Structure 1
Amino acid sequence: MSSSGGAPPRLAVTARIEGPDVRGIFENCLLDGAPGLVAEEVYRECLAHREQLRAAYAATFTMHGLIFPTTPATALDLATCDQGMVLCGEPVDTFPTFIRNTGPASVLGATGLSIPMGVARNGLPAGLEIDGPVGADRELLALGLTLEAICG
């Protein structure tokens, strides 16, 4: 506990996270013995699979680059995002839906760059994600600058 008798500092910080879905994830990770925590043996097994996925991801870049929308939908109002959303006519959870395109590179430690690409028909921002192999930061940034110069 803090000296003022309030929440521990680490929980006080998470209370300031605006998105309720993201805040919930952080709170679960910080609470000792929280039901959302992954057992260490499961975590270690995932790390082993991570290396296999990194190799497969790297092999992709020997022949192809990856370019795709940053998110599968335009931005939502944070005041309503905890109510979920509809994507292609199906109700879906907001947070996993919005991170699904950028998640793989992030989890694998690969290089990823999101470039603003204007606004969608509804006036909300849209982005273009470019992923590259681990360690290709400079090359990806150069590509991003080139695309930004072409697209404005």
Structure 2
Amino acid sequence: ARDVGDLALLLSVLAGPDPRAPMALGEPGHRFAAPLEPTPRALHGLRVAWSLDLGGAFAVDEEVAVVTEQAGRLMARHGARVHGAHPDLSEGDDTFRTLRAWHLHAKLGPLLAEHPGELKASLADNIRAGAPLTGTDVARAYTQRTTLGERMRQFFTHHDLLVLPVSQVAPFPAEQEYPTQVAGRPMASYLDWMRSAYLVTVTGCPSIAVPAGRTPEGLPVGVQLVGPHGSDRRLLEVAAAFEAAREQG
């Protein structure tokens, strides 16, 4: 989306209950279409937990770290109560990788068997990682996902928002499959460099990525704003406020 307002409009079309998805949330999608107030006022008094790396859960390049810190300072200047804090998502890595591999193997395993050697190596490796998983492994991952969800619920009783990097690195060349190192730390696989994103995804909490600044070379860097489960509309309002704060400086 070009801006938060565009994203809200898109959600007003996409979101909402549907008989083909009986487990979907019941709120109508048109609630997202209400105009967002393009002013930083929504940041005032907001209890913001700021974290660079979720307590050392992943590496972050210096140029991304600088922009992420600037985002926290910007919110503080506009009245948010910003302090360093983060939830414990230590089970997130095993949970995400187990469920991802299980789903990939179930969906794409037959395709890989039919066309060995034709899928790119990183995808083939991810699919094969699901083959040895047992019911016990999958049950453990789902149990951990429930634990993560409850831990986030408790975290958001003390905080309104969690702010952290979207990506651990600035944009890299399209022909490069993935960064081989981040902040000097080797990335062993295609998944290692995106922990900042999937550790949030696996909690089930809504998150919105917003532009936050640029590197000295002019490459865009974003931060993600994360809210409690069910706070999608509120999160859009906060993101619109952050967008307006960046325009004011």
TM-score, length of structure 2 as denominator length: 0.46
**Which aligned pairs between 1:1-152 and structure 2 lie closer than 5 A?**
21=122, 23-24=123-124, 28=127, 34-37=128-131, 38-64=133-159, 65-82=161-178, 84-93=179-188, 95-152=190-247
Structure 1 position 94, deviation (Å)? 6.2
Structure showing the higher strand proportion among its residues: 1
Farther off after superposition, 85-94 or 101-110: 85-94
The code of the aligned residue for 1:116 comes to P
Assess, with a 3 A threshold, how the Cα gap between structure 1 residues 25 and 54 changes in structure 2: closer, same or farther: farther
Deviation by residue 1:106-145 (Cα, 9 ceiling, x = unmatched): 1121111110123212322200111111111111111011
Higher relative CO (CA 8 A, sep ≥ 6), structure 1 or 2?
2
What stretches of structure 1 of length at least 5 have no aligned partner? 1-6, 29-33
- Aligned Cα root-mean-square deviation (Å): 2.7
Question: Counterpart amino acid of 1:41?
Answer: T
Q: Which SS does the other structure have where 1:95 is aligned?
A: coil
Gaps in structure 2 of 5+ consecutive residues: 1-109
2:182–2:193 Cα contact (<8 Å) kept: no
Change (3 A) 1:145 1:45: same
User: Taking every aligned residue pair, what percent have the same amino acid on both sides?
Assistant: 21
Aligned to 1:31: none
Secondary structure at 1:127 match in 2: strand
CA distance in 2, matches of 1:116, 1:94: 27
CA shift in 2, pair 1:45/1:98, >3 Å:
same
Judge conservation of contact 2:187–2:193 (CA < 8 Å) in 1.
Answer: no
- Aligned residue for 2:190, secondary structure, equals helix
1:24-66, CA deviations, whole angstroms, 9 ceiling, x for partnerless residues? Answer: 466x1xxxxx443432321112111211111111111111221
Describe the SS at the equivalent of 2:170: coil
* Residues 110, 133 of structure 1: 8 Å contact kept: yes
